[in-house]
Amino acid sequence: MCGTCNGDAAGSAPAATATISTIDPPSASTSNGVHPTRGEPKSSPYQSIQDYVSNVNRFKIIESTLREGEQFANAFFDTETKIKIARALDSFGVDCIELTSPVSSPQSYEDCKTICQLGLKAKILTHVRCNMDDAKKAVECGVDGVDLVIGTSSFLREYSHGKSMEMIQKTALEVIEYVKSAGVSVRFSSEDSFRSDLVDILALYKAVDRAGVNRVGIADTVGGATPRMVYDLVRTLRGVVGCDIECHFHDDTGCAVANAITALEAGATHVDTSVLGIGERNGITPLGAFMARMVVTAPDYVTSKYNLKALKSLEELVADAVQINIPFNNPITGFCAFTHKAGIHAKAILANPSTYEIIDPSLFGLTRYVSINSRITGWNAVKSRVSQLGLTMTDEQVKEVTQKIKAMADLRPLAIDDTDSIIRSYHLDLQQ
Amino acid sequence: MCGTCNGDAAGSAPAATATISTIDPPSASTSNGVHPTRGEPKSSPYQSIQDYVSNVNRFKIIESTLREGEQFANAFFDTETKIKIARALDSFGVDCIELTSPVSSPQSYEDCKTICQLGLKAKILTHVRCNMDDAKKAVECGVDGVDLVIGTSSFLREYSHGKSMEMIQKTALEVIEYVKSAGVSVRFSSEDSFRSDLVDILALYKAVDRAGVNRVGIADTVGGATPRMVYDLVRTLRGVVGCDIECHFHDDTGCAVANAITALEAGATHVDTSVLGIGERNGITPLGAFMARMVVTAPDYVTSKYNLKALKSLEELVADAVQINIPFNNPITGFCAFTHKAGIHAKAILANPSTYEIIDPSLFGLTRYVSINSRITGWNAVKSRVSQLGLTMTDEQVKEVTQKIKAMADLRPLAIDDTDSIIRSYHLDLQQ
């Protein structure tokens, strides 16, 4: 899994697609094989620009619902639930599934072995402290990869494990050599990377890269990094190591999705996610929101690789297992993610959904809804509803009934039945 | 409100604070007046770096719960609710409150006038289409500012209003002149700015800036922009206009908070928010998540200006009004935002909360919780609970009872009562 060009992060070549500027990119094959011609409309300015360090068109997902997710306050996964979630993640198409350390408890050990034996397409990884005992337990379970982690910030070195950078490096090299000798893939990650000394962690990553580690990991353990901090650190690291780069972002300051795409732009190859983002505190980059982001940036790659129509049932499975509601504002599956209300929006969306929708809901097996039950509706939206009801009115009549709807909506909340009644009653008056 | 250095975006000067790198910044006053000395520990690497184009230490909030928020699927605000929300936003300390267009409905017009007469400290703005009739209605209501908007993307020009860029500019200049002549502040914003032709919108913004507009607005109307796209566009615009720059980000792809801070880094002066992010589809930059982001980046500015302890009640007020639950993963106020569960985390957080917390919950009047009721707990966390319970045990005994807790947590979910019972029962056995 090593190589300076990160060639194995995905099969496809870097794609030259549309840019936000008005200048056409150099003539080259786009990701769908079409040569852009000057003057032709661009497919979307939100697609990735031609940038060879970027992996937005060939990233991999390390799905950590069964590790980070188990650190969520409400999470208790029995064996049956873990198996159900692992199978659902595998059907969705994630590249790797990360499990809780087998050292955590006897059942964690048994469950790790069980999931390794399910015969899933996804690689099975487990996440352990960087010491020989933990690594041996992990290898015993039959995992495809061992994810080593140790805190490198001065905070964690002082208040958690108390080790010096020299001790960390010495142990890391021994453990990496052991895991490799067992024929198992190995990742080495610092914890709290953004509060670690830059020179220290670059030196450490360089040493483990030379020792043949498959991936190094950057973790924003406290969720405080900004996209520009992420770009700088990952881009710097990309110039220091040849192996793959994994990133892990907590969402305490609401930047976990943006940080993930920015890391890919800077040369990271793998992104950690969990379903609905469940994890320590308010969690990490949510799988669904990350899919929303990436399907806009790299539509060909994402739609060909992931089973997007399974997202909703996957989220419902996990939400039920940890007894939470899908947040009202969840990208894609939040109840109103494709609801349009303002008159100015509804008019345009009825003419062309791309005007106010960057994601086609049908990609996820969902549909849009244009609401007309409010004071901010407009006559174009009402006209569409009139025609859905099989009624005939002139534009002037539609405008008049729109005023009646707005007047009623000024007084109280309206359901679609109420609005339909106002339209039907007005239409009846017209007939008489 | 104009000026190339954006001096009036806030009172304070650009602050030189700690950087993420190991090199000290040039000696200069930090935001709290302390001169950093080589070798001294930095206050936080997450604070803003010395960058004169950045406004992260002097931004303003345009709070749009009563405009964008009214476009949320569930929103119906009667007059009384609007007044309550406006007063709560004012107490929180937002700079401006934006209201639904008075042209939307008769009640919208009356409510706009009513809120203008409340005598709030916040400036009252209303958001109208860029035409003379709408602008006149807005001025009639007695607002402090009129926010003009028109779609400039080819999508919106074709499928919404059908106007050419020349027509847009001509109308904009006339309307701006009228609003200014009425002694009212005026903003001009494009809609769907990131899918608009770059040269077209720069030319348009340059023209309205020359005409004396107070602010120009950039809007990611479809929620598809990435932080790097935002930085590029805002930074370019910053070099073209001298007036203030407002940004409005939808959250369809989960980047609305990150885009907001990135816009400030690139020279924007004002950010649009709504409480819990409510708005069209899944909404915009949420006020609370934005506060979480900015209190980490610019702690002195944010804590001195905003009444952070009122955030939770403000969110509850709005959540009740639109009948939604606070999302489980909401930054700061989500039920588990300050809950620590993994053993490795709990050990460190008990020694020093900064290890795994980038935000001090007490700033928001909240408290942290260290959970020990799971298979991934550790003996240091259990030891802390043992001492909270007033019991005495050796470390070896704590390790033994920790194994009992893990064994029970492997079988079923545990509440704190269950864990306490296991500890007490073990302690009783020791006595006998």
How many Å separate Cα A293 from the centre of its chain?
7
**What is the mean pLDDT of the segment spanning A137-149?**
97
Q: What are phi and psi of A226, to 5 degrees?
A: -105, 160
With beta carbons under 8 A apart, name residues in chain B contacting A233. Answer: 20
Residue A229 or residue A162, greater confidence: A229
Q: What is the pLDDT of residues A322-339, one digit of tens each?
A: 988 899 999 999 988 988
Q: By the 8 A CB rule, do A91 and A324 touch?
A: no
**Contact indicator for A223, A251 with CB cutoff of 8 Å:** yes
Tens-digit pLDDT profile for residues A253-264: 999 999 999 999
Q: What's the pLDDT tens digit per position in B236-259? A: 999 999 999 999 999 999 999 999
Give the total residue count for chain A: 432
At residue A43 the predicted structure's pLDDT band, cuts being 50, 70 and 90, is low
Q: Are B41 and B50 in contact (CB under 8 A)?
A: no
Across the interface, whether the CB atoms of B292 and A412 are under 8 A apart is answered no
Q: Compute the count of residue pairs across chains A and B with CB atoms less than 8 Å apart.
A: 318
3-state secondary structure of B391: coil
d(CA A147, CA B31): 40
Question: Does residue B12 carry a pLDDT above 70?
Answer: no
Of the listed ranges A138-142, A279-283, B164-168, the least confidently predicted one is: B164-168
List, for residues B135-149, the tens digit of each pLDDT value: 999 999 999 999 999
pLDDT in tens, B302-319: 999 999 999 999 999 999
Contact check, Cβ <8 Å, A341/B225: no
Q: CA-CA distance, A231 to A240, in Å (whole number)?
A: 14
Contact A74 B352 (CB under 8 A): no
Is the distance from CB of A356 to CB of A311 less than 8 angstroms? no
Residue A153 pLDDT more than 60? Answer: yes
Residues ≥6 apart with Cβ < 8 Å to B75: A374, B69, B278, B321, B322
C-beta of residue A126 within 8 angstroms of C-beta of residue A101: yes
Report the residue from B105, B199, B328 with minimal CB separation from A327: B328
Nearest to A282 among B71, B231, B336 (CB): B336
Could you tell me the pLDDT band of residue B16, with boundaries at 50, 70 and 90? very low
What is the pLDDT at residue A65? 98
Which chain B residues have a beta carbon less than 8 Å from that of A72?
336, 341
The DSSP bridge partners found for residue A274 are: A286
- Counting Cβ atoms within 10 Å, is residue B182 exposed (0-12), middle (13-18) or buried (19+)? middle
| Interchain CB distance below 8 Å, B73 and A347 | no
* CA dist., res. B312 & res. B308, Å (int): 8
Which of B46, B195, B280 is opposite residue A341, by nearest beta carbon?
B280
- Mind telling me how many Å the CA of A176 is from chain B's nearest CA? 21
For the cut 70, the answer to whether the pLDDT of residue B428 exceeds it is yes
In angstroms, rounded to a whole number, what is the distance separating the alpha carbons of residues B43 and B296? 11
Over the stretch A406-421, which tens digit does the pLDDT of each residue have? 888 888 888 778 888 8
Spatial separation of the C-alpha atoms in residues A234 and B428, rounded to whole Å = 53
Contact B329 A278 (CB under 8 A): yes
Q: Do B342 and A71 touch (CB under 8 A)?
A: yes
Asked whether the predicted pLDDT for residue B31 surpasses 60, the reply is: no
Minimum distance, in Å, between the CA of residue A322 and any CA atom of chain B: 11
> Considering B127, B248, B340, B345, which one is annotated as catalytic?
B345
Contact predicate A248/A192, CB 8 Å: no
Contacts of B190 (CB under 8 A, 6+ apart): B149, B150, B151, B152, B153, B196, B201, B204, B205, B217, B218, B219
Of all residues in chain B, the one with the smallest CA distance to A260 is B255
Q: What is the pLDDT of residue A77?
A: 95
Of B81, B88, B79, nearest to B120 (Cα)?
B88
B354 and B110 Cβ atoms separated by less than 8 Å: no
Does A64 score more than 80 pLDDT? yes
With beta carbons under 8 A apart, name residues in chain A contacting B277.
329
Q: Residue A41: list chain B partners with CB under 8 A.
A: 154
Instruction: Say yes or no for a CB contact (<8 Å) between B407 and A286.
Output: no
Contact B70, B100 (CB under 8 A): yes
- Residue B325 to residue A328, Cβ atoms within 8 A: yes
d(CA A275, CA B283): 21
Are the C-beta atoms of residues A46 and A307 closer than 8 Å to each other? no
Tens of pLDDT along B203-226?
999 999 999 999 999 999 999 999
Q: What are phi and psi of A188, to 5 degrees?
A: -120, 125
At B339, the pLDDT band (50, 70, 90 cuts) reads confident
Chain A environment of B341 (Cβ under 8 Å) = 71-73, 280
Q: What is the pLDDT of residue B43?
A: 56
Please provide the average confidence, as pLDDT, over all residues in chain A.
87
Cα–Cα distance, B216 to B295 (Å, whole number): 26
Show which residues of A are catalytic.
345
Distances (CA, A) of A233 to A94, A226, A263, A264, B229: 26, 11, 9, 12, 19
Identity of the residue numbered A48: S
User: What does DSSP assign to residue A286?
Assistant: B
Closest to B376 (Cβ–Cβ): which among A70, A228, A354? Answer: A70
Identity of the residue in B159, B198, B258 whose CB atom sits nearest the CB atom of A355? B159
Q: Which token pair is A72?
A: 């969520």
Angle, helices A227-238/B256-265, rounded to nearest 10 degrees? 80
- pLDDT, greater one: B129 or B348: B129
Task: Mark residue A348 as left, alpha or beta (left: phi above 0; alpha: psi -120 to 50; beta: remaining).
Answer: alpha
Residue of B nearest to A336 (CA): B281
d(CA B193, CA A374): 27
- Concatenating the DSSP letter of every residue in B16-84 gives ----SSSSPPPS---TTSPPP-TTSPPS-TTSPPS-TT--TTS-EEEE-TTTGGGGSTT----HHHHHH
**pTM assigned to the model:** 0.86
A2-6, A129-133, A189-193, A355-359: least confident range? A2-6
The whole-angstrom distance between A337's CA and the closest CA on chain B is 4
List, in sequence order, every beta strand (DSSP E) within B105-251. Answer: 123-129, 145-151, 185-191, 215-220, 244-249
A149 SS3 class? strand
